[in-house]
Amino acid sequence: MLLHLLLAFGCAVQSALCMPAQSPSDTVDAGSPTSPWGPSGTPHYPHRKPLTIEELQARQPLDGLPSNSNVTLVYAALGIGHQNYTCNGTAYVQSKTGDGASALLYDVTRFLEYNPRETKRLAQDCNYAACKYPQILDNLLGDHYFSALVEPTFNLTRAEPPRVLSAVKTDAVTPNPKNVAWLFLTANPANDITNGLKEAYRFDTYRGVAPASCDEVGETVSVAYTAQYWFYD
Ligand SMILES: *[C@@H]1O[C@H](CO)[C@@H](O)[C@H](O)[C@H]1NC(C)=O
Ligand SMILES: *[C@@H]1O[C@H](CO)[C@@H](O)[C@H](O)[C@H]1NC(C)=O
Ligand SMILES: *[C@@H]1O[C@H](CO)[C@@H](O)[C@H](O)[C@H]1NC(C)=O
Ligand SMILES: *[C@@H]1O[C@H](CO)[C@@H](O)[C@H](O)[C@H]1NC(C)=O
């Protein structure tokens, strides 16, 4: 009874999001109509058919990055962490050990199949400060860090099977200077750490940009950021 009253109140407030009346057992099991997550933790939109992974791949925003049509999407991830920079006397750069990104990667493949519009904005909607879909944070996939040689590394320890990409930046575009660049990353030919992946894209970036200038050599800053990383084989 109380649940019904609460749902009725929610529907009055957010009528556009409400679904037709359901039996009490449906209502309890399906979770909130505004939530994409069902009882098992699987994204759940009763009236929508999810995209296939091929359809999801075709929706990846590129904004000038090279085509992804010759590779196969294996995981779509959300990265939340920070970018470290060191001052070289005039600008903050990422060239020394300890510089670069450090982020946790969450598996959002299924989430995006059910919520394709989020391919353009998930990094804003679930960012380092506030996440509209907190269940995403239960789906850890691995982590992203820079090696001692300042090589971007993605360690997908929870992928099946686990996968690693040691990458080089092959292309970059900057759709919005308030956010770090979008990147096309390919396997680093200088080492053999990579396993089970060929490429990755960083896009839909949110913040992470260093202050415009600096004057104290060696001074470091750490700037929070969020981005989507899609991994291809
Ligand atoms: C796929 O095509 C892109 C763009 O032409 C190219 O840069 C990339 O190296 C290719 N990837 C593979 C794995 O062949
Ligand atoms: C610092 O880095 C910036 C950007 O890469 C570069 O333009 C500048 O010449 C560098 N300054 C010094 C002192 O190395
Ligand atoms: C980046 O900076 C943060 C905060 O200073 C620090 O905790 C972290 O260890 C640094 N990351 C790396 C890779 O050194
Ligand atoms: C990936 O993480 C695992 C578990 O922490 C670790 O054993 C392994 O050395 C890491 N791989 C790379 C390439 O850093």
Residues of the chain above pLDDT 70, percent: 80
Residue with CA nearest ligand 2 atom 6? 91
pLDDT given for residue 50 in this prediction: 87
Q: What is the mean pLDDT of the chain?
A: 85
- In this prediction, residues 165-175 reach a mean pLDDT of 98
- In this prediction, residues 20-33 reach a mean pLDDT of 34
pTM for the full model? 0.84
Residue 14 has pLDDT above 80, yes or no: no
Instruction: Assess whether the C-beta atom of 74 lies below 6 angstroms from ligand 1.
Output: no
For the range 178-184, what are the long-range contacts, defined as Cβ-Cβ under 8 Å and sequence gap of 24 or more?
178/207, 178/209, 179/205, 179/206, 179/207, 179/208, 179/209, 179/225, 180/83, 180/205, 180/207, 180/208, 180/209, 180/225, 180/227, 181/205, 182/63, 182/65, 183/65, 184/65, 184/66
Residue 98 Cα to ligand 3 middle (Å): 6
Least confident of 13-17, 29-33, 100-104, 141-145: 13-17
Q: How confident is the model at residue 26 (pLDDT cuts 50, 70, 90)?
A: very low
Instruction: Assess whether the C-beta atom of 70 lies below 6 angstroms from ligand 1.
Output: yes
Give the whole-angstrom CA distance, residue 49 versus residue 27: 20
Ligand 2 neighbours (beta carbon < 6 A): 88-91, 93
